[in-house]
């Protein structure tokens, strides 16, 4: 009798084989290593065809228009084929490189892995000094650069804010959003008191997964700290989750007061958005994709706005973390790097990037774009535009450390504290610091991370790097 069960490893192999076959089927005469083809019906001039891969769906139509424009107008006889591969993107890249069918220019899905495996060519050897000068001060180590070389460039980022229902705040007697965590707790309580009979609550977060904690924590905690992000103290080179004590206590108090929307422990982000759009939530923390959400996915007539996430005392010692992973890199295996460079420069033209922002497709982290761009068309996006208190932090070893961690992740520990009375916070933080310290030491011993202590680091020095 045949075994009816298939192992995960078997499925993975089958999946990768399917991708390989798909790539082979699509690669006839247009792969990155293919010979240039003669232009059909033309003078016989050879086209240099390059493959461009991205996982972004939200801007697919706009970017295809830009590719079409480039193909029709460039004077270098370059033809670009764009492929959007949103699902299993990293696996597709792995298979493409393994089968010698890698794209010439592609979106960074896993920066450190791609660099370590030799997928990215160093851009500082391909791009002019004048072009790279546009990114001065932004090429953060282990985000865009490694070991003295630049591999990807900044583009857009997710900017984190406290979203709030203006009408609900006014009904509760407030004319401006909270600036301190104590005020946020107070506002949530008053909004709930005024609106509970109508199913309205002062605060919500999507605690179904870890981001229900990390979204508010990374914003508030990093704003309040001059030394740390993601629980990692850059100056000491070790984890200290005490930076999240204040935001955890505030969220715990909101839950204890009955000001947190019921069922928050099983709430995902889209159901939360739906409730906010219906006017049932006073405040929550999320990033700059929300204006598009409330224009198309959950259209709403409520008056809402956004503001800098509150800190313990209203003081800002660091910057709000901007999630701005690398945009595009050029394949180290491509024999068409010169053509890929020309297309990359086109994608970073001030005109294209400004229009991209004005259409609400993404907020740029590039000062030269923000200086040139007009007001975005998307309602509500104004509150997410870069301020002096937004910045790009150096990479932390958090994700690598958690691969070696024994016991619960920090997000799970903090969520348990927020939603229950089962833990004493200081003891929980102490335990996290010990366990993450051991895991980080193991990761370093195996050479999985090269991030070390930087005693000179100051998050305050990041203020003003993206905006005023």
> Is the Cβ–Cβ distance between 185 and 260 less than 8 Å?
no
- In order of their start, the domains of the chain are 9-154+326-378 (3.40.190.10), 161-321+395-462 (3.40.190.10)
Decide if pLDDT at 364 tops 80. yes
Burial 413-444 (b: 16+ CB within 10 A, else e): bbbbbbbeeebebeebbeebbebbeebbebbb
Dump pLDDT digits (tens) for 159-199. 999 999 999 999 999 999 999 999 999 999 999 999 999 99
**pLDDT for the residue 238:** 98
Instruction: Find all residues with CB under 8 Å of 190, minimum gap 6, and list them.
Output: 172, 173, 174, 202
Rounded CA separation 411/414 (Å) = 5
The pTM of this model reads 0.84
**pLDDT for the residue 112:** 82
Average pLDDT of the chain is 90
Decide if pLDDT at 1 tops 90. no
Dump pLDDT digits (tens) for 79-98. 999 999 877 888 999 999 99
Mean pLDDT, range 343-368, rounded to an integer: 94
**pLDDT for the residue 39:** 45
**pLDDT for the residue 360:** 86
Decide if pLDDT at 391 tops 90. yes
**pLDDT for the residue 111:** 86
């Amino acid at each position: 009798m045949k075994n009816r069960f298939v192992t995960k490893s078997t499925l993975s192999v089958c999946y990768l084989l399917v991708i390989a076959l798909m790539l082979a089927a699509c690669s006839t005469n247009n792969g990155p290593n293919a010979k240039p083809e003669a232009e059909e019906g033309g003078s016989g001039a050879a086209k240099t065809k390059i493959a461009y891969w991205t996982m972004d769906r939200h801007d697919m139509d706009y970017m295809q228009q830009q590719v079409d424009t480039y193909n029709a107008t460039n004077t270098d006889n370059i033809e670009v084929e764009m492929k959007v591969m949103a699902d299993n993107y990293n696996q597709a890249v792995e298979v493409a490189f393994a089968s010698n069918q890698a794209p010439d220019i592609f979106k960074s899905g896993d920066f450190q892995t791609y660099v370590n495996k030799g997928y990215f060519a160093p851009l500082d050897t391909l791009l002019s000094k004048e072009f790279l000068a546009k990114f001065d001060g932004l090429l953060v180590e282990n985000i865009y650069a490694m070991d003295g070389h630049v591999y990807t460039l900044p583009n857009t980022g997710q900017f984190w804010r406290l979203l709030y229902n203006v009408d609900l705040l006014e009904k509760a007697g407030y004319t401006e959003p909270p600036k301190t965590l104590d005020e946020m707790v107070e506002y949530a309580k008053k909004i709930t008191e005024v609106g509970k009979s109508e199913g309205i609550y002062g605060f919500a977060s999507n605690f179904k997964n870890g981001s229900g904690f990390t979204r508010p924590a990374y914003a508030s905690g990093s704003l309040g700290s001059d030394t740390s992000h993601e629980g990692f103290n850059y100056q000491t080179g070790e984890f200290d989750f005490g930076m999240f004590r204040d935001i955890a206590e505030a969220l715990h108090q909101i839950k204890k007061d009955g000001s947190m929307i019921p069922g928050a422990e099983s709430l995902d982000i889209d159901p939360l958005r739906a409730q906010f759009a219906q006017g049932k939530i006073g405040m929550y923390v999320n990033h700059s994709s929300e204006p598009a959400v409330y224009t198309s996915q959950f259209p709403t007539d409520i008056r809402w706005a956004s503001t800098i996430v509150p800190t313990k005392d209203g003081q800002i010692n660091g910057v709000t973390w901007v999630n701005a992973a690398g945009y595009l890199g050029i394949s180290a295996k491509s024999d068409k790097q010169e053509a890929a460079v020309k297309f990359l420069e086109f994608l970073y033209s001030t005109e294209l990037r400004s229009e991209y922002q004005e259409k609400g497709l993404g907020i740029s982290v590039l000062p030269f774009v923000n200086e040139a761009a007009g007001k975005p068309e998307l309602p509500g996006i104004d509150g997410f535009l870069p301020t002096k208190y937004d910045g790009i932090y150096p990479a932390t070893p958090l994700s690598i450390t958690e691969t070696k961690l024994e016991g619960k992740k920090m997000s799970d520990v903090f969520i348990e504290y927020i939603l229950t009375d089962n833990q004493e916070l200081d003891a929980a933080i102490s335990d996290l610091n010990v366990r993450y310290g051991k895991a980080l030491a193991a990761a370093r011993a195996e050479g999985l991370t090269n991030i070390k202590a930087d005693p000179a680091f100051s998050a305050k020095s990041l203020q003003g790097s993206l905006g005023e």
